[in-house]
Amino acid sequence: MLNFVGTKLTMIFRAPLADEYTVLILAGVSSFIGWTHFVVSIIREMCGVLRISAFTIPYKLKK
Amino acid sequence: MGVLLGLDPWSIFLVSVLGSLPFYLAHWEEYFTHSLVLGMLNGPTETETLAIILFLVTGVNGLSWWKETTSLFGGITLQRYKMIVYLAIVMSIFTALQSLYSGLRKARAQGVTLFTSFSQLLPITIVWISTVLWICFSPLYMEHPVWFIATFGFVFSTLIGRCIVQRICNEPFRMFYPVLIPLLVACANTLSRIALGYVEFCWHKAYNDF
């Protein structure tokens, strides 16, 4: 029984689980999207708060 | 700069990961001290000056000059580019430890517990550990080093940006960020080789001649 389960698991889970090259490309692209999302969200927030007056806004906010 | 010095992909990876260490810790330290101390040779100005000097030296002497061996004190001979790599490693670790000590001391003075202080470093620790494991065990690194380093760069850039915003706006640190997911998935996929018996420590194989 254990041998059967082991054989089936080996058939299902081959190493690596997914093609490494595909995962590499997807990781690169999705991390770029995450970084872009962060940069855009910060710029939008800054522009919203400071009404696009300057990029020194966070320092003004501290006062 | 790594390509400029004729570094192999493993040295470039080592310098990029270790170079990110003091930079992040300096900004984390500023969260408590409210003053950004980047340390010796760790500031943007010094780095740019160093890059200019290295460009000039390579322009005058050629790329092969970095591969030549030179004798140090005590009869030790070493290739010039390796000297730069070792110097970068020592300086990075020294500056990082300095920032860590200073940040923790200030945090304790402000009544912040050690657990809270260290938990703020959890996301970046996940990035460093998963990147090292992913790159060391992936057989693709030597073929596509740019993709690996770019992925690490984007994730690190997002986290350092978050850290800067958090310390400027006095926001609390979060324990996890969605941008970590692609890195963790890629690392888990590569590590499945170990779990399923396909152990292959690519770093060791490729780094033997270093």
Give the distance from residue A17's alpha carbon to the nearest chain B alpha carbon, in angstroms. Answer: 6
Per-residue pLDDT of chain A (63 residues; tens, 9 = 90+): 656 665 655 555 566 677 888 889 999 999 999 999 999 888 877 776 666 555 544 545 544
Question: What residues of B are in contact with residue A20 (Cβ under 8 Å)?
Answer: 138-140, 189-190
- Put simply, whether A43 touches B (Cβ < 8 Å) is no
Q: What global pTM score does this model have? A: 0.77
ipTM above 0.85, yes or no: no
- Put simply, whether A25 touches B (Cβ < 8 Å) is yes
Q: Do residues B24 and B124 lie in contact, with contact meaning Cβ atoms separated by under 8 Å? A: yes
Q: Where are the alpha helices (DSSP H) in chain B?
A: 9-33, 44-61, 80-109, 114-119, 122-137, 145-169, 180-195, 202-206
- Put simply, whether B195 touches A (Cβ < 8 Å) is yes
